[in-house]
Amino acid sequence: MLDSEAMDQIKVAASQLASASSLAVITGAGISAESGIPTFRGEGGLWRKFRAEDLATPEAFRRDPNLVWEWYDWRRQICARALPNAAHEALALLESRMPSFLLITQNVDGLHQRAGSKRILEIHGNIWKARCTACKTKFEISETPLPSLPVLCPDCGSLARPHIVWFGESYDESLIQEAVSFLRQCDVLLVIGTSGMVSMPGFLTEQAFRAQRIELNPEPSGITPLVQISIRAKAAEAMPLFWERLNAG
């Protein structure tokens, strides 16, 4: 159950969206938490149990590619068992209603696509994809557990790596450019379930300078100072209510 303050914020946010034509959404690990996929920070977060520098850096992969692949394969199995939740589904519905829409996600789990979202920029990559360290070919790997390790390129047989942006690596500049140009003209920005502990979501939020900026997160985050409205609730509880409210007119 949502408290009355969260309900009030949802009403305000829905009325702002009702008169908007362009919506941008930024999502982080929190939107998939209720699907059973662990977040990175906070209670039960992956970075509480694992050291990122052992598993999610180019150095870690050079040192022990199989260890890195095993860790990603364990996470792939969690993602394969998970189902999109009501928040992923509400975003797919919102996309079908808005004349102009873009979803920018830090998540690599593929749940937005499975819920039916179409216009998605996956700025941290995708856990179901790999790419060759030699010829750079990108390919899908849907099987989990992986039949053999490490994963090899289907084209040239060289070592392949997860198609993920690791610590110390740069973003795909063309994806960021596309996100920035959309954000600069959008009417409403909704930021869901990100701690803002990496700098990109904060930077992106700041680009939406002419938008009503709304955050959905049960906890205060690095995004909170950058938005006008913070809805303090869980994504899969709040998003269906937001959608209902929008349609109630």
Residues numbered 153-172 forming contacts with Zn ion, rule: CB under 5 A? 153, 155-156, 158
The backbone torsions φ and ψ at residue 109, rounded to the nearest 5 degrees and listed phi first, read -80, -15
Of 3-11, 28-36, 179-187, 241-249: span binding ligand OAD (CB under 6 A): 28-36
Residue with tokens 């205060």: 220
169 binds, among Zn ion, ligand OAD, none (CB under 5 to 8 A by kind): none
Closest CA to 104 of 209, 205, 2, 240: 205
Least CB distance to ligand OAD at residue 218 (A): 5
Quick one: 34 or 100, whose CB is closer to ligand OAD? Answer: 34
Least CB distance to ligand OAD at residue 195 (A): 3
34 binds, among ligand OAD, Zn ion, none (CB under 5 to 8 A by kind): ligand OAD
Report how far apart, in Å, the C-alpha atoms of 75 and of each of 43, 101, 129, 202, 204 are: 17, 29, 13, 26, 27
101 binds, among Zn ion, ligand OAD, none (CB under 5 to 8 A by kind): none
Report yes or no: 123 and 179 within 8 Å, Cβ to Cβ: yes
Distance between CA atoms of residues 12 and 4, nearest Å: 12
Quick one: 142 or 199, whose CB is closer to ligand OAD? Answer: 199
